[in-house]
A and B are shown apart, each in its own frame.
Chain A
């Protein structure tokens, strides 16, 4: 992101505190290869990071890549001198993708493993179940969940989401490009529960701001695995079909959509969440050719690949197609997992800014991170620059729109960070510790 965009944003939204802050955080977030090793620290005891990970349960497919990314980030941080000269130790505990178990794991981090912080998990219900316990135990809890629950004010001062944008940002930032390039008459087809409702509400509002409107909202009951009876409900004058189907029926949905529309179809826009970790060139997905997807971080390294992306892929072991280097058919959860990498680097920057020495400095760590406002694109932030709102504990970042061409996702648009921004819904800094 260009520096002037950050500056303009600073003036317009008073999100940033000034160029000095940018410089300080930027310096803090840089990694210095070959920096002084752990011996320089007063204590060489490791910084213990409790890693709450979906090892089992419905989130296990994501957990596997979150684990891989986290290990790669920790390895890099340690190779570069650790945090405040101390090595990082990742202590992984399986949350079973379960909120009750998630809370138990937080307790273990605080009381049994004596972790300095907790970090990691993705699924919203686990975060929502764990955050209250982290607050009670006064354990900083850095989540990588995408949920709007952090910025909505639902959680507490100890829970932060600095390394990944939330779904509200992602959805609303799509509207300007969709309205300008695909069409203004949108039909939304979504699963009939909170996940789908969020998309419906956030996007309807955002597209209206762009002069478009949602002409039909088709809610599909979650138990459906065939969708033919819903497709005729799509109005004929639909210019863009926005779909966010999830679950095992997704592939059937795409197939049936192809059979229903044939060659005469509206523009199609979806979220990669539906097909994360699935090869776009899979048989049955041919119909998606020419359609567009939101991506948090482009799976395929395009011609404009940054050096940071190149470095990050190599460190995690991912090839230019977003697949594992050890198995080109093993597609990563590329649109999401960078959040672990970036969050660990923010943790490092925060601890160094707070001169973190142990659990008594946890409040200082929270305050240090709350005082951060920009994370420039770097090795630590390969997905791109981010603005961080200390009041809402939420990061804002560029989003990407990619087009399916030849069975690959080709990036066609990168949003402004300010397309993702929305007004504060909470000010956690006013809450006591």
Chain B
């Protein structure tokens, strides 16, 4: 009978709408007062102008812009073993805090660390300073020290990066669709489970292989770190430090596989869909009153499908643009998808920064408070006034729209340079790159629209 009543209760919830629904004007409301339409047009035109400028400029300019310079070569002790061990120890403590500490996700250190410091703040830091995750991940140190990470069987080449891609999809679902990803205890179990799973996979396939094709965060942060203006590379003990214009490393090195391209497209589509899923447009599409958001449990199925749908749409759009470029240029036939997918990385980072900046501004304060509690300092009250005042919301909007436009401009330049490097012919580069350039211009407009759109979730 109890189960029957629960079913009846849930039925009641969705049939009798909440009387007191969304009643609070947030930054989305203030953004509606800003001239976001001008930004949308201006930003899109700026990216379009970049396409034209890139098409007109001499090929060597692009090459010069992204030229790499070796800053230093030499030997550095393997500190990454020590830092990884420290990372593992800290994570163990955090999991313990998640299981036994306060139940409040905005006071417990585990969700604050995972969702704010790690998932929101670490990608931009990696894009600035290189792959910090390689230093602090909890696996490489333990595996190196114990000698367990050499691998027992070979991970088939045919699967490419699909294990990492599917794991990233699971993570995106956990973050954006599951009912309570911030619950400290639930998160502790998921994190602990993933850590153990990765240890087992690394022992089985070897850390080197698994971190390149299976451990989705190692793959993600390695990709993002290719945008950094400084690159560290270790080759049998010797370290080389190279520097160049942000994104230069995208152009230097081997092309990635189709599954790698799928991974990058998924990283972009998930953050795009997270934004889209909160808009009036999406809620209306799935039959939800945007002023009466029922909570995550009420949209789990459409948002699960939406997450995959967004990935498919972006993938189809990307590969169609590559195919169209080859047809248009009647070109050399060199496969470009594995190179051009990398040029999407700045867009992915830009969406990440724009999408999560308010989370960082608010939850960053909770993280500060948690640190204050740790050291016994009196806590500072959290404020969200910057989401309710027009001057501050305008600054946030300018940052967000600026990030989207700059990300796309960099992507356009990288894509053009990547095609030039293969074809060596400006005319062919412009023709074959045109469909992708159009896609990038369209994605700029979409991104700016997304950030300005009214939200109800």
Contact = CB atoms under 8 A, between A and B. Distances in A.
A270 B23 CA distance: 13
Contacts of B455: 248
Contact of B383 (A58, A124, A326): A326
Contact of B32 (A53, A129, A252): A252
A284 B291 contact: no
A279 B388 CA distance: 8
A283 B392 CA distance: 12
Contact of A55 (B26, B104, B280, B290): B104
B30 A247 contact: no
Nearest to B31: A248
A194 B291 contact: no
Interface stretch (B253-261, B266-274, B293-301, B414-422): B293-301
Contact of B297 (A101, A124, A250): A101
Interface stretch (A89-97, A234-242, A342-350, A372-380): A89-97
Contact of A330 (B10, B294, B384): B384
A274 B25 CA distance: 7
Interface stretch (B177-185, B225-233, B318-326): B177-185
B22 interface: yes
A129 B33 contact: no
Contact of B294 (A53, A104, A125, A326): A125
Contact of A195 (B24, B31, B180, B292): B292
B29 interface: yes
Contact of A126 (B9, B30, B102, B295): B295
Interface string A57-101: 110011010011000000000000000000000011110111111
Given A124-B18, A193-B21, A223-B290, A331 B180 contact: no
A44 interface: no
A251 interface: yes
A222 B292 contact: yes
B18 A68 contact: no
Interface in B1-28: 2, 5-6, 8-10, 12-13, 16-26, 28
A93 B295 contact: no
Interface residues of A, number: 76
B454 interface: yes
Interface stretch (A26-34, A145-153, A403-411): A145-153
A327 B84 CA distance: 40
B425 interface: no
B294 to A, nearest CB: 6
B313 to A, nearest CB: 23
A225 B381 contact: no
B24 A277 contact: yes
A55 B182 CA distance: 10
A210 interface: no
B456 interface: yes
Contacts of B292: 125, 193-195, 222
B295 A326 contact: no
Contacts of B289: 193, 222
B382 interface: yes
Interface in A161-212: 167, 191, 193-195, 198
Interface in A131-157: 132-133, 136, 145-149
Contacts of B235: none
A114 to B, nearest CB: 13
Contact of B22 (A58, A279, A317, A324): A58
B64 interface: no
B18 A96 contact: no
B105 interface: yes
B372 interface: no
A58 B382 contact: no
B383 A330 contact: yes
Contact of B183 (A53, A94, A279): A94
Given A62-B24, A98-B296, A195-B21, A252 B6 contact: no
Interface in B410-457: 454-457
Given A247-B29, A251-B30, A195 B294 contact: no
Interface in B24-54: 24-26, 28-33
Contacts, number: 226
Contacts of A111: none
Given A96-B296, A282-B389, A330-B383, A125 B18 contact: yes
Given A248-B25, A331-B388, A326 B381 contact: yes
Contacts of B16: 128, 194
A132 B5 contact: yes
Nearest to A251: B29
B106 interface: yes
Contacts of B370: none
A384 B179 CA distance: 38
Contacts of B180: 94, 96, 98, 101, 104
Contacts of A290: none
Given A132-B6, A247-B290, A275 B25 contact: yes
Given A100-B295, A147-B20, A248-B454, A61 B26 contact: yes
A104 B9 CA distance: 13
Given A246-B23, A246-B291, A327-B381, A255 B33 contact: yes
Given A58-B457, A246-B23, A248-B26, A64 B382 contact: yes
A99 B10 contact: yes
A248 B383 CA distance: 20
A432 to B, nearest CB: 15
A397 to B, nearest CB: 17
A373 B179 CA distance: 39
Given A96-B179, A195-B17, 11 more contacts: A55-B182, A93-B103, A96-B182, A129-B13, A193-B17, A246-B23, A247-B456, A251-B29, A251-B32, A329-B388, A330-B381
10 contacts: A55-B182, A64-B384, A92-B104, A99-B13, A101-B297, A198-B19, A246-B21, A247-B23, A251-B32, A330-B385
